[in-house]
Amino acid sequence: MSKTVLITGCSTGLGRSTARHFAAQGWNVIATMRQPDPSLAEANPDRLIVAALDVTDPPSIKAAIAAGVERFGGLDAVVNNAGVSVVSVFEATAPETIRRVFDTNVFGPMNVISAALPHLQQAGGGAIVNVSSGVGFVAVPLLSLYVSSKWALEGFSESIAYELESQGILVRLVEPGAIRTTNFSANTMAATQLNAVPDRYQAYFAHALQAMMNYPFEETAEQAVVDTIYRATIDRSPRLRYPVGPDIEAYAQLRWSTSEDTYRTEMARLVGQDTWRATFKTPA
């Protein structure tokens, strides 16, 4: 009997590709998004349904799960892929933007997991894959909200991994590197335009943004992330983290295999902080 997975954030990019990949592997897929696009199911109508789901709206989550369970008979896995980001100076970021990032990236997965757990337990176990980021364990400038939301997701996931293992449910964190080919980057920059940069930060913002544009690593392939999400879902080992991408592999080595001083020095180089310090005098 085919297994069933619910995936959030399937309107474009990574979520859409992941839904198609699971269906191609013989899974039943509940592909969810805030504004349903039925065309996603056209290539595989027997195995894939599209359902409305907003991770900040618990009733919509329950309705999507119910529709999927009614269609396919159960639920075996969840992929929390929906997420938002913004490039901003924290001091100038509107409170409603802060809430939106955390509502989507932290409370959203919590809402989905809470609604899915009874069905996973009824199935006798399963998998929860939370799509995090390499900045879930390293920090970079201008992404303080995204970084902190992913750190929260990582801590939450690691903690519940112990609890849910007792129920036969395995929790995974997939940590992708920079993917510039999806709409995520475009949506991030659109959100960025809504936050004015104060004059006193203009020079630093321009410098840090340029360092971000001059990223020293190759882009992470979207298909590599899709493959990793699928592998994490079917893996029955106790593994928690699945970093994917040349940048994140380097970050993981730096974060976990060096001293704090070495880590901080190298990260300052990677984000352009060392050249800022050499060029500008920071106010006392």
Exposure string of 72-109, with b = 16+ CB inside 10 Å and e = fewer, is bebbbbbbbbbbbbbbbbeeebeeebbebbbbbbbbbb
- What is the per-residue DSSP string for 132-185? --GGGTS--TT-HHHHHHHHHHHHHHHHHHHHHHTTTEEEEEEEE----SSHHH
- What is the per-residue DSSP string for 47-85? TEEEEE--TT-HHHHHHHHHHHHHHHS---EEEE-----
Q: What angle do CA 225, 244, 240 make, to 5 degrees?
A: 100
Task: Provide the 3-class DSSP secondary structure of residue 243.
Answer: strand
Question: Do 130 and 241 meet the contact criterion of CB atoms below 8 Å apart?
Answer: no
Hunting for tokens 């519940």 — which residue is that? 160
Question: Would you call 230 a catalytic residue per the annotation?
Answer: no
Token pair in block for residue 283 = 């106010």
DSSP assignment letter at 241: E
Q: Which amino acid is at 74?
A: G
Annotated catalytic residue, options 146, 230, 242, 251 = 146
User: How many of the other CB atoms lie within 10 Å of CB of 191?
Assistant: 18
Catalytic residues: 146
